[in-house]
């Protein structure tokens, strides 16, 4: 007799840049959350849907919990901590190649307030010798009684199937919330905007990254089957606009080329992508602009 179907919601939390988006993309099997070596690149809670014949897990990839220095930062931290109240399990992701720090301790204090199972997921095990893992586990275990402790490499997929099997044990019986072939609950426009932002993060330097927002203004299928997308890239200062456009438009052209390639893989269609760059001064601290760009508290 087939076991009853299980389903539930699982939050992925951790300091900025520990590999939360990488883990979710690895589980889902395709890119739905952007990845960057710059911290705090995830701004909204990204929902990724993992479905098998036995279960469906809806993952919430949350923004990194950090000390905010803008209204956008406040939004990101509130978004991450609120996720802890609405899930069936929490994956606390850490980077084993870095020392346990104040940021980790702060998150553990938040986790002590939740009643749901909390997994300690030790990421980036490919970067350390196996013998170095035990002392790290002991340090964390002294700070909190974790439900399960699972070492993984999100980048290479090591032990990720074991993690999923452990999570399944704590899921309640439930319905299939999304169709089996759906991998995210975000509209395609959201994912396309994030792909554009990812390319800017990859190609620009420290002055620009967190001053960037992307809005899809238009998206439609033409008679020839090509998907035409028009997107606006917002920056906070005119100097940043120059950086994003680049000499003779070279930077913007490269951003468009790389983003279009990812979009074509995502949508399975040819893409015609138009990009514009506009200045919205100090947009990260303007409530009305944040709301218009989709940064809302549920």
CATH architecture of 188-292: 2-Layer Sandwich (3.30)
Q: Which residues make up the CATH 3.30.300.20 domain(s) of the chain? A: 188-292
Question: What would the two tokens of residue 117 be?
Answer: 């199972």
In this structure, what are the phi and psi dihedrals at residue 122, rounded to the nearest 5 degrees? -90, 105
Closest CA to 43 of 71, 85, 10: 71
Residues ≥6 apart with Cβ < 8 Å to 176: 5, 7, 51, 56
CB 249, CB 233: distance < 8 Å: no
Domain 6-169, CATH class in plain words: alpha beta
Give the per-residue pLDDT at 29: 78
Q: Which residues make up the CATH 3.40.50.300 domain(s) of the chain? A: 6-169
Residues ≥6 apart with Cβ < 8 Å to 295: 43, 44, 72, 75
- Please report, in tens digits, the pLDDT of each residue of the chain (298 residues total): 346 899 998 988 888 778 888 898 888 876 555 444 433 444 445 578 899 999 999 888 665 554 555 555 565 556 555 667 778 999 999 999 999 988 899 889 888 888 889 999 999 999 999 899 999 999 999 999 999 999 999 999 999 999 999 999 999 998 888 878 777 765 677 778 888 888 888 887 655 656 778 888 887 878 888 888 899 998 888 888 988 899 999 999 999 999 999 888 877 788 999 999 988 876 666 666 566 555 544 4
Tell me how far apart the alpha carbons of residues 31 and 52 are, in angstroms, rounded to a whole number: 18
Tell me how far apart the alpha carbons of residues 70 and 73 are, in angstroms, rounded to a whole number: 5
SS3 (DSSP) at 60: strand
Tell me how far apart the alpha carbons of residues 168 and 56 are, in angstroms, rounded to a whole number: 9
> In the sheet where 89-95 sits, what is the strand order?
46-51, 55-61, 6-13, 89-95, 118-123, 148-151
- Reported pTM: 0.61
Tell me how far apart the alpha carbons of residues 199 and 193 are, in angstroms, rounded to a whole number: 10
């Amino acid at each position: 007799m087939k076991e009853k179907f299980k389903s539930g919601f699982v939050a992925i939390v951790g300091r900025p840049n520990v590999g939360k988006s990488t883990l979710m993309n690895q589980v889902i099997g395709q890119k739905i959350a952007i990845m960057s070596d710059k911290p705090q690149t995830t701004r909204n809670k990204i929902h990724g849907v993992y479905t098998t014949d036995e279960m469906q897990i809806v993952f919430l990839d949350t923004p990194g919990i950090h000390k905010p220095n803008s209204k956008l930062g406040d939004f990101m931290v509130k978004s991450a901590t609120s996720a802890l109240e609405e899930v069936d399990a929490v994956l606390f992701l850490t980077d084993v190649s870095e020392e346990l720090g104040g940021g980790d301790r702060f998150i553990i204090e938040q986790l002590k307030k939740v009643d749901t199972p909390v997994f300690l997921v030790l990421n980036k095990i490919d970067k350390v010798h196996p013998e170095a893992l035990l002392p790290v586990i002991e340090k964390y275990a002294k700070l909190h009684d974790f439900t399960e402790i699972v070492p993984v490499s999100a980048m290479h997929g090591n032990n990720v199937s074991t993690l999923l099997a452990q999570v399944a044990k704590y899921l309640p019986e439930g319905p299939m919330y999304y169709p089996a072939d759906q991998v995210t609950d975000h509209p395609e426009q959201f994912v396309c905007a994030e792909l554009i932002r990812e390319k800017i993060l990859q190609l620009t330097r420290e002055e620009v990254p967190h001053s960037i927002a992307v809005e899809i203004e238009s998206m439609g299928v033409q008679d020839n089957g090509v998907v035409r997308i028009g997107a606006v890239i917002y920056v906070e200062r005119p100097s940043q606009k120059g950086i994003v456009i680049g000499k003779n438009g070279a930077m913007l052209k490269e951003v468009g080329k790389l983003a279009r390639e990812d979009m074509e893989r995502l949508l399975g269609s040819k893409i015609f992508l138009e990009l514009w760059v506009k200045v919205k001064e100090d947009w990260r601290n303007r409530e009305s602009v944040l709301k218009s760009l989709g940064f809302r508290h549920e």
